[in-house]
Chains A and B, each alone.
Chain A
Amino acid sequence: MATIESIQSAYIDHVLTEGEQPKSVYIFAKHNEMSEAEFYQFYGSFEAVEQGIWAGFATKTLAEIRAQEVWEGYTSREKALSFFYGFFELLKSSRSFAVYSIKKQPKGFTTPKVFSPLKDIFEGFADEILKEGIESTELSDRKYFSKKYKDALWIQFVFVLNFWINDNSAGFEKTDEAIEKGINVTFDLFQRTPTDNLFEYGKFLVQNGGIKDKMGF
């Protein structure tokens, strides 16, 4: 009896040995001793299998990090860091597949389809921790911009993913550095910064300082 896991691992095995997708669901099913109907019970296409694998990395990571004793005590910043570290640690065991899957994506600015379910999960998580952070005043609530915070985190995620694909350092230590530094910079920007204060001050002066009159405008 086929399961989600068995289809995923058979698929990964195939693409890594053959270097390409199976010719058809029929052939794939036949090789793995299941019926085509069984395959379609779980997935509508090979692309869906690949999407499912990526999404699976994220759900597994989340389950893993949320089970850690320290989780509850983490700030939003630490929760984000924890997700990134957990995700790339998990991905290590499937690096060949990850490299295969990413390298065949067309270069462009839109998120490749294969990442869509992963992105949904990621954004759900990001939303959650960002809201927490804003509520606890760890992060600064800015008009218009706070809604964009999660996009910034996604961009960061895609960046680290590409960084990791090209990382040759032992134990992917450079990726750890990229995460530690990148996430910290991003969260520094989410916090109250001097620019916020400058903006506030400017607003105050315009409203109360009578700048226009004094400057002779």
Chain B
Amino acid sequence: MADEITGTTPEQNSIPTTKVQRSAKFVKTGIKIGGNYIKHYSKKLFNPDLDKSELNEDNAADIYQSLSELKGSALKVAQMLSMDKNLLPQAYVDKFTQSQYNAPPLSGPLIVQTFRKYFGKNPDQIFDKFNIRSTNAASIGQVHKAELNGKKLAVKIQYPGVGDSISSDLKLVKPFAFRMLGMSEKELDIYMKEVEERLLEETDYELEVRRSVEFSNACANLDNVVFPNYYPELSSKRIITMDWLEGKHLKEFLATNPSQELRNQIGQALWDFYNFQQHELRAVHADPHPGNFMITPEGNLGVIDFGCIKEMPEDFYYPFFSLTSTNLLDNKEETIKAFRQLDMIHKDDTPVQIEFYYTQYKDMISLFAQPYITDTFDFSQTAFFDELYSFGERISKMPEFKQARGVKHFIYVNRTNFGLYNILHELKAKVKTDTFKPHVVLEY
């Protein structure tokens, strides 16, 4: 019976077990990518006009395939890579954006087991209703719908052993990140270490519940931003229970063709949410990928994930955000001092190098700071983003920027702000940018 249908669930088809198997997975990807190049060049022999987008698409599909089979931290890296649109060709971006929405789920019995372990009860004994099939993946876990006392809840459950595999997964991702991002090894190391720290924090669900409560209280007064309630008594090291927020993800929201007014409202909420945190709390929700937000039917922005928080120490905050003020940036001497403090200019740089990096970074920052300079900013304008991307591209080709520059805090702060800019751009929102202003120091 060759045509019989096997009655399997799509869940858990194959998650490579050991490090060796995971390595094998990556090697396989490498081989496949090699194959894609061969395919590309043999086609090109006959059709010299062929552009690289098909090749990129093939590669992205294979990388995504292998990352989603690995689950956990590797998937997280896929999500991170998809944040930096300017660093990646469009085909990679599209594939990686998928990873923000789905990954293979855990088995039902493992869900039951996790509950028994932390609460001594089955989920159906704790909740009035509990859907054993998950509704969304959360990259290091998955989300289930539940009900208790007439309230709809979202229950996030973490995959066991995620923490342990993070470090080894990152080592496996390294050669690929290396090739795809074209960074120097030293730069990549700083990056990887910072990423590893944040990722490990994300596996601590008790910490996440504490932070979620803390941040949603601190941000409670912001207009049009809503948070679910969290239930610490129904949460544990591997389980988080919170209110189920009704709403649409960004893509679905945009598909409904919302009015400019509504888009501005959501955009403003996003801007306020991020800039209030950055400038008043000095710690920021550093995971602005669209999967972490919901747009509610009332036109509010719902924030549903506080797993990744980046705290900004003063010795980073002041020099960096002061640069967004024209007053400082016009003062060359003080600007160079700030650059030095941020390790963008090294102490053994020659005068020629200092001049070079000063000019480049000044250009970069005045570009980045544009939304801060005026009172309102229209994020729909493509010109600004084109300029941003082409600047990024130009920089990435300069041999001077192959070496590590800038303190590690840039990684998440840049990711946060570029992520924010990107979402605002997709929203085509016009935003009042003077609601929460950076605190500035004019002298160093």
Q: Which residues of A are at the interface with B, using a C-beta cutoff of 8 A? A: 68-70, 73-75, 77-79, 81-82, 84-86, 89, 133, 136-140, 169, 171, 173-174, 176-177, 179-182, 184-185, 188, 191-192, 197, 200
The listed residue (B2, B108, B160) touching A176 by CB distance below 8 A is B160
A77 touches B110 (CB 8 A): no
A177 to B132, CA, bound (A): 19
The listed residue (B6, B15, B17) touching A138 by CB distance below 8 A is B6
A70 touches B6 (CB 8 A): no
A81 to B6, CA, bound (A): 19
3 nearest CB pairs, A to B? A85-B113, A81-B109, A138-B7
Residue B112, interface by CB 8 Å: yes
Residue B382, interface by CB 8 Å: no
Residue B107, interface by CB 8 Å: yes
What's the nearest-Cβ distance from chain B to residue A165, in Å? Answer: 18
B107 touches A78 (CB 8 A): yes
Interface bracket on B: 20 to 34
A173 touches B109 (CB 8 A): no
Find residues 2-29 in chain B having any chain A CB closer than 8 Å to their own CB: 2, 4-9, 12-15, 17
Q: A138-B8, A200-B2 are in contact. Are A176 and B110 (CB under 8 A)?
A: yes
Residue B124, interface by CB 8 Å: yes
The listed residue (B13, B109, B160) touching A177 by CB distance below 8 A is B160
B161 touches A89 (CB 8 A): no
Which A residues are in CB contact (< 8 Å) with B7?
Answer: 75, 133, 136-138
Find residues 90-122 in chain B having any chain A CB closer than 8 Å to their own CB: 106-110, 112-114, 116-117, 122
A200 to B15, CA, bound (A): 27
A204 to B112, CA, bound (A): 45
Q: Given A78-B107, A78-B108, A137-B7, list of 5 further CB < 8 A pairs? A: A75-B8, A84-B109, A138-B8, A179-B110, A180-B15
Specify the main secondary structure of chain A where it touches its partner: helix
B124 touches A137 (CB 8 A): no
B12 touches A184 (CB 8 A): yes
Which A residues are in CB contact (< 8 Å) with B12?
Answer: 180, 184
B109 touches A74 (CB 8 A): yes
Specify the main secondary structure of chain B where it touches its partner: loop
Which B residue sits closest to A193, measured CB to CB? B6
A163 to B15, CA, bound (A): 19
Which B residues are in CB contact (< 8 Å) with A188?
Answer: 13-14
What's the nearest-Cβ distance from chain A to residue B116, in Å? Answer: 6
B132 touches A85 (CB 8 A): no
B4 touches A70 (CB 8 A): no
B160 touches A85 (CB 8 A): no
Which A residue sits closest to B107, measured CB to CB? A81
B108 touches A70 (CB 8 A): yes
B110 touches A81 (CB 8 A): yes
A181 touches B6 (CB 8 A): no
A75 to B8, CA, bound (A): 8
What's the nearest-Cβ distance from chain A to residue B2, in Å? Answer: 5
B113 touches A73 (CB 8 A): no
A192 touches B4 (CB 8 A): yes
The listed residue (A78, A173, A181) touching B17 by CB distance below 8 A is A181
A197 to B112, CA, bound (A): 35
